[in-house]
Amino acid sequence: MPSPGPRAPVVAWWASPTEDDGGARVVYRGAPGQRLWLRYGFEGWQEPVEQVELEENGPGIYVSQVINVGEHVAVDLACTDGESWDNNSGLDFRLWVRFQPVDSHLHVSGRGPGDLGIDSLRTAMASAGIRAGITSWVDNEMLEGLPLREAGLHPLVWVRPGVTDPAEVVHRLANGFVGLKLHPTVDDYRADDTSLDPYLAAVQSAGLPVACHCAPGGADPDHIRALAERFPDVPVILYHTYLGPDEGRRRAARHALELPNLYLETSWCRSGMVLELLDVVGPDRVIFGSDASIDGMHHYNRWPPNVDGSETYLDVLVALSRHLDRESVHKVTARTTERLFRFDAGAGAS
CA 295 from chain centre, in angstroms, equals 14
Q: Are 236 and 209 in contact (CB under 8 A)?
A: yes
Higher pLDDT, residue 116 or 341: 341
Helix (H) / strand (E) containing 311: none
Residue 137 has pLDDT above 60, yes or no: yes
Residue 158 has pLDDT above 50, yes or no: yes
Residue 12 has pLDDT above 80, yes or no: no
User: For 10-96, CATH number?
Assistant: 2.60.40
Which residue, among 177, 172, 190, 182, has the nearest Cα to 148 in the 3D structure? 177
DSSP-derived letter for residue 4 is: P
Q: Nearest 5°: CA angle at 101, between 46 and 45?
A: 10
Looking at residue 350, its pLDDT comes to 30
- What one-character-per-residue DSSP string does 22-72 give? -EEEEEEE--TT---EEEEEETTTEEEEEEEE-EE-STTEEEPPPEE-TT-
Q: Which of 10-24, 206-220, 280-294, 327-341 has the lowest mean pLDDT?
A: 10-24
Residues carrying CATH 2.60.40, the chain? 10-96
Residue 135 has pLDDT above 90, yes or no: yes
- What one-character-per-residue DSSP string does 88-108 give? TTTT-EEEESS---EEEEEE-
**Confidence band (pLDDT; 50, 70, 90) for 295?**
very high
**Confidence band (pLDDT; 50, 70, 90) for 346?**
low
Looking at residue 4, its pLDDT comes to 41
> Among the CATH numbers 3.20.20.140, 3.40.50.2300, 1.10.150.20, 3.30.1370.60, which is that of 102-341?
3.20.20.140
Residue 11 has pLDDT above 70, yes or no: no
pLDDT (tens digit per residue) in 250-263: 999 999 999 999 99
Residues carrying CATH 3.20.20.140, the chain? 102-341
Cα 144 to Cα 84, 108, 136, 231: the distances in Å are 36, 11, 11, 28
Q: Kindly state the average pLDDT of the residues 174-202.
A: 97
Q: What strands, in cross-sheet order, belong to the sheet with 132-136?
A: 102-107, 132-136, 153-155
Residue 25 has pLDDT above 90, yes or no: no
Q: Are 23 and 16 in contact (CB under 8 A)?
A: yes
Q: Which of 17-31, 39-53, 335-349 has the lowest mean pLDDT?
A: 17-31
Percent of the chain residues past pLDDT 90, beyond the cut: 83
